[in-house]
Amino acid sequence: MSAPNYVMRAAGPADLEGFKQLREIAGAGFTSLMLDDKAMAAKLALSEQSFASATDVAGSERYFMALEHIETGALAGCCGVKSTIGETPPFFNFRMFTEAQSSNVVNRRFDMRVLIGVNDFTGCSEVGSLFVRPEHRAAGIGRALAQNRYMLMATAPQRFRSQVVSELRGVVYPDGTSPFWEAVGRHFFKMDFDEADKLSATTDNQFILDLMPQHAIYVDLLSQEARDVVGKCHKDGEGAQRLLEWEGFTFSNVVDIFDGGPLMSVPRDQIRTLRESKRYKVEPAAQLTNAKRALIAVPNIQTYRCVSAHASVANGVAQVDAAVLAALKLEAGAEVLIWMDDVH
């Protein structure tokens, strides 16, 4: 199939109703959507402003993107990129260290894992907010939506930091409880996991600075249930973790202070999709020869749009179905940014 079914584009205030629906479907634990209507509207307004900005440096921009089903116009999913994290609000995590213990007197030596509160990733960029409505999870659209974030970064790398991170949701049971939170956070914050999660999404996170543990936590002192989930992602996030690893992200021995989920990181310029994307002149074609699946994007943040479709490239020219140009709102001969899937 050479014509796209979806377009990935900037989200703005006009998408509020669609995002309210996504919020209901995503449910508790998807922090970036757990906002009241006023906060959601403000988030979409900031996204619109960020895309419209002509800045050449990474600042406080928040690029929130919508996955739109072309035929119906329905909002099918979302994703986002934050240019800079940790400045406002602060970005706290636990870093996991291994502490060696030994005694010649009793002939014992062993290693113990220790958690210490840090804000090591202040000043990084962050990718996240990846969600696709269940009825649209087919034909690799989740992967395309994830890669789309790096296509956006490739259009203007200077607008993003040199290090990129991504938080994965930790293990949370169907009833909404988190074994890590019950073993650690509840003792310091004196509130339920859902309440803390919502506060982290809707406040300046001063409460974390005020209440988070100030000293090391020995993992071996936690319950077995909690120890088993440190650095583990929720089963629904395993696919996202594999996609991050494919892009070059690695586990940084840093975990979320609420649910113990893993934080992944990578130098921006080593991200696979970003590295492999190239610019071409685009032309419509009735038939494509030796076409491969590709991500095709408008290489301009102000007018950014991206589709997953087939393309045939040669001599600096990319041939695509005319529907691709229509979805991208481009004319023949325009410049596009393309990542080619050499496997499909």
Residues forming the active site: 234
Shortest CA distance to 85 belongs to which of 179, 152, 143, 163? 163
Exposure b/e, 220-229, CB count within 10 A at least 16 = b = eebeeebbeb
Three-state DSSP state, 335: strand
100 beta partners: 111
Contacts of 95 by beta carbon, 8 Å cutoff, 6+ apart: 115, 116, 117, 118, 120, 253, 254
- Between the CA of residue 344 and those of 1, 159, 225, 294, what are the distances in Å? 12, 31, 41, 9
Angle (CA) 217 221 223, round 5°? 115
Exposure b/e, 195-218, CB count within 10 A at least 16 = b = ebbbbbbeeebeebeeebbeeebe
Using an 8 Å Cβ cutoff, are 259 and 171 in contact?
A: yes
Three-state DSSP state, 66: strand
